[in-house]
Amino acid sequence: MLKTRIIPIQILILNLLLGIPLFSGNNTDIVLNPKPNLIEKNYGELIVHRTICGDLGNDDVYLFSPFDLAGDADGHLWVFDNLQARVIHLDKNLQYISSFGRAGNGPDGFSRGSMGCFVHIHVGQDRHIYANDITKKVLKVFNPSGDYVNSVPYRLPDIPEPPTSFRAVDKKGNFYFLIRKGNRIFVVNRARKPYFDIQGEKADFGFLYFKPSQAFLTYYQIPEKTDVFVLEERMYLYLKNSSVLYIRPLEKGTSCRRYLLHPKNALRIYQTRLEEIKKWPDSYQPFFIHFFPDLDSGKHFYLHLGREPDGSRNLLYKFSNDGNLDEVLFCRDPQGSFTRFRLKMNDTFYGIQDEKIMLYKEKQDDN
């Protein structure tokens, strides 16, 4: 028998007045639709603070080709090096601590192809390191010392596929996987037991302006187009194709907030970019390239837009957790280079540019 949630009359009236959709069902969230301020009026420049490449002060370990970055609660930086198939651990001052991993089989092995190892990493709130080996389709878990803990294979009948960069694990080490059925996203554990589900709108699972080919849609599944992050007992679920963000506290009985993140100037830039992308078959790029929360305050999150049409500025949008746009940050990349922003901690923005790790700080007004 289907259980339905009894909705108080006050919530019914509020939803009717504000035009908020109601959803009911077993463990189904009531989704609130606030209208954030998305005016692009405040701009700030990011300037290069430091560059890391090559020698790390250890004779055995060099930084050759950073592929992904992650940060932990102590402000330490974790790097996956594509060519070495190694996870490198640096302290808050970017001094070398340790490293682990290798190319090959075995518990600490990562698969290597002709272009190196494609592994995304994340440090969970439980302080364990989660390494998603995309080629092997396995999520490997290591403790803070780099010792292997276990593996979670995916694309199996009983385990949903995680996002490319697995970042959905809480302080107790609970996994949060996604299953999509129609316009509903089910958030489940490894045994497929549901924590809760979110009933979205049909447009949330569509594409902005341009739908890629069926070959593209067949190859890329919904979780790979969804960024999920758990931070300070909140889950951020960002649908990249439509640029819709859901924020929901992990405790039971709480409502979920839905934010449509479509700043006007950013949309114009994206439309211009799509005109070029359409010229290439089976090509597609989401509106914003990457989503990441602010690890310093937990009160903001960032969406990386990329270059303006003239290539002069690389744009990073800063939002508060209520969905309001606080600031548009930008850096000026050298000609022929592009910085991929990955995280914010220690009042510093970390990105990857060519074979280097780039650290940026916001330029302070002289006045």
Instruction: With cut-offs at 50, 70 and 90, classify the pLDDT of residue 15.
Output: very low
Q: Is the pLDDT of residue 9 over 50?
A: no
More confident residue, 152 or 131: 131
Give me the pLDDT at residue 78, please: 97
Give me the pLDDT at residue 24, please: 36
Instruction: With cut-offs at 50, 70 and 90, classify the pLDDT of residue 367.
Output: low
Average pLDDT over residues 102-107: 92
What is the tens place of the pLDDT at every residue in 230-251? Answer: 988 899 999 988 999 999 998 8
Average pLDDT over residues 145-150: 95
Q: Is the pLDDT of residue 50 over 60?
A: yes
Average pLDDT over residues 132-144: 91
Instruction: With cut-offs at 50, 70 and 90, classify the pLDDT of residue 58.
Output: confident
Give backbone dihedrals phi and psi of 106, rounded to 5 degrees, phi first: 95, 170
Instruction: With cut-offs at 50, 70 and 90, classify the pLDDT of residue 156.
Output: low
Give me the pLDDT at residue 22, please: 36
Average pLDDT over residues 253-274: 92
Residue 144: which region, alpha, beta or left (left: phi > 0; alpha: psi -120 to 50)? alpha
Give me the pLDDT at residue 10, please: 45
Tokens of 156: 């199996």
pTM: 0.88
Q: Mean pLDDT across the chain, nearest whole number?
A: 85
Q: Is the pLDDT of residue 167 over 90?
A: no
Give domain limits for the chain: 34-362
Q: Is the pLDDT of residue 130 over 90?
A: yes
Average pLDDT over residues 186-209: 84
- How is domain 34-362 classified at the CATH fold level? Neuraminidase (2.120.10)
More confident residue, 171 or 67: 67
Average pLDDT over residues 257-266: 95
Q: Is the pLDDT of residue 217 over 90?
A: no
More confident residue, 13 or 39: 39
Give me the pLDDT at residue 23, please: 38
What is the share, in percent, of the chain residues with pLDDT greater than 70? 86
Average pLDDT over residues 77-85: 94
